[in-house]
Amino acid sequence: MTLLAVPVKKGLLKSGQLLWLLVKIIVPISCLVAILDYYGIIESFAAFFAPAMSLFGLPGETTIALLLSFFVNFYAAIGVITAMSLDARQITVLAVMIGICHELPVETAICSYTGLKVPVSAALRIITALCAGLLLNNIYNLF
């Protein structure tokens, strides 16, 4: 048992830090979304993007989640998702798109160490995420 003590302690410490980070990011963002929703701002925003998002089988307001995950990080996107009511299929499509493409400013910089240029890597991830969403939505439509 003593053998496991070191990694378990490290894992618990890391989870604590990550959860605190999540609280700091997600709580303010979901409050902001709730307030914007209360004043009907989200509704008009969503209506504008609804045709584009219908390609992925998603409601228009998920544009906010996608944009937040692309340019900030995916914890911010979770703040938006918790404030919306989405079914399992919609969350899965959104999760795949966000999983492929998130935190671009930081992660493309990290990836540039491999020789992959920042604009190339950003474009690659955005295009892949959009294609994945389109593909997954069509696969779901088959069933």
Residue 24 interacting with other proteins (CB under 8 A) = no
Which of residues 30, 62, 63, 137 is near other proteins by CB under 8 A? 30
Which tokens hold the place of 75? Answer: 């914890």
Q: How many residues belong to the chain? A: 143
Distance CA 58, CA 84 (A): 12
The Cα 82–Cα 50 span in angstroms is 19
40: phi then psi, degrees, rounded to nearest 5: 75, 15
Summarize as ranges the residues that interact with other proteins (CB under 8 A): 4, 6-8, 10-12, 14-15, 18-19, 22-23, 26-27, 30-31, 34-35, 38, 74, 78-79, 81-83, 86-88, 91-92, 94-96, 98-100, 107-108, 110-111, 113-116, 121, 124-125, 128, 131-132, 135-136
